[in-house]
Amino acid sequence: MIETISTKAYGTEAAEAPLDQLGIERRKPTAHDVEIDILFCGVCHSDVHTARNEWPGTLYPCVPGHEIVGKIVSVGGHVSKFKVGDVVGVGCMVDSCRECQYCNEGLEQYCEPGMTGTYNAPDKHLNTHTFGGYSERIVVDENFVLSIPDNLDLAAAAPLLCAGITTYSPLKHWNVGPGQKVGVVGIGGLGHMGIKIAKAMGAEVVAFTTSESKFAEAKRLGADEVVLSKDKEQMAAYRGKLHFILDAVSAEHDINAYISLLRVDGSLALVGAPEQPLPVAAFSLITGRKSFAGSMIGGIAETQEMLDFCGEHNITADIEMIDVQQINEAYDRMVKGDVKYRFVIDMASLKEEK
């Protein structure tokens, strides 16, 4: 029997139920584990999709949260990479098989038998499923723990653990850089990081938004140009002009309208994960040898590379800090696109709640 630690968390028992305080058990750190006192946790739209069972398959109770920053408070006997007091991060994965071809290539997110998600995945140690970062503490194998550059604000760095890597990885994979015009669609948590990172990689960035209130601000985030995507004339001006498009929209939208903006041989990578399929018209693709692709988070080594890149370029998220008790309201606001640009939970609010 593995010994456990009773831990306060925030989560939900059902798709229609609001999130509220609940108790979970974490394993006591085993030889390769670190125990992290969670300081901040970002709120990703995937948390909403999962808590509300919008992608079917949610295991309840569900404790979301995979943009975790905290301080190590204890370490197992064989931990060599970290020590008590280190400030660290945990993203979307807490384990993988570590022996398949993809794990060996540092692509643990595409692990053949499947990576272990930080929440909503079978727990390899306890007879339950994994619980995420809306909690006081988490226990994670040191190989899935990241170092946070010490020049970054910790709360604003939390969203790098998902929104940062999910945008960095495809931008890097498709060799985005100087001389290229890159579109970022949907200026939410992921999209606003996409703008900052693509700009830091040297590309010319065009932001596409449905929100008039984000129009002026997208330039402050680093976009060279901004397009109100509901305006057909503004969209038409970019036909055939973009080398690459990163699509971070969380809901159904017309994907062909964006594919038509690609140059010949251009690629559109989807990182947004709407519940319903997005129909792609054959002629959108074949009339320019275009690619329609997807990308999921990034591997552990690449996540550390992204954090170091953000440290060098002083990149963090623009955040609105909330107490955990405001999480249900935050979810509703996020669904309406009313967040600039990422909610981050100050976990002191959970620790203080009776």
Residues that bind ligand NAP in the complex, under the rule CB under 6 A: 44-46, 49, 162-163, 166, 186-191, 209-211, 214, 248-251, 253, 271-273, 295-297, 334, 337, 339
Contact between 273 and Zn ion per CB under 5 A: no
Are the C-beta atoms of residues 25 and 62 closer than 8 Å to each other?
no
Nearer to ligand NAP, 17 or 273 (CB): 273
CA-to-CA distance for 194 and 74, rounded, in angstroms?
35
CB of residue 268 vs Zn ion: minimum separation in angstroms? 20
CB of residue 197 vs Zn ion: minimum separation in angstroms? 15
Contact between 161 and Zn ion per CB under 5 A: no
100 binds, among Zn ion, ligand NAP, none (CB under 5 to 8 A by kind): Zn ion
CA-to-CA distance for 83 and 263, rounded, in angstroms?
49
Question: Would you give the binding string for Zn ion spanning residues 81-100, x where CB under 5 A is met?
Answer: ---------------xx--x
Nearer to ligand NAP, 7 or 309 (CB): 309
Alpha carbon distances (Å) from 211 to 204, 207, 215, 230:
21, 11, 7, 9
Are the C-beta atoms of residues 86 and 71 closer than 8 Å to each other?
yes
Contact between 167 and Zn ion per CB under 5 A: no
CA-to-CA distance for 241 and 236, rounded, in angstroms?
10
CB of residue 241 vs ligand NAP: minimum separation in angstroms? 19
CB-based closest residue to ligand NAP: 188
CA-to-CA distance for 287 and 256, rounded, in angstroms?
12
214 binds, among ligand NAP, Zn ion, none (CB under 5 to 8 A by kind): ligand NAP
Tokens for 88, please give them. Answer: 């660290």
Contact between 103 and Zn ion per CB under 5 A: yes
Q: C-alpha angle 314/317/321, rounded to 5°? A: 130
Are the C-beta atoms of residues 42 and 132 closer than 8 Å to each other?
no
304 binds, among Zn ion, ligand NAP, none (CB under 5 to 8 A by kind): none
Are the C-beta atoms of residues 137 and 91 closer than 8 Å to each other?
no
97 binds, among Zn ion, ligand NAP, none (CB under 5 to 8 A by kind): Zn ion
CB of residue 80 vs Zn ion: minimum separation in angstroms? 22
CA–centroid distance for 101 within its chain: 24
Positions touching Zn ion (CB under 5 A) are 44, 46, 96-97, 100, 103, 111, 162
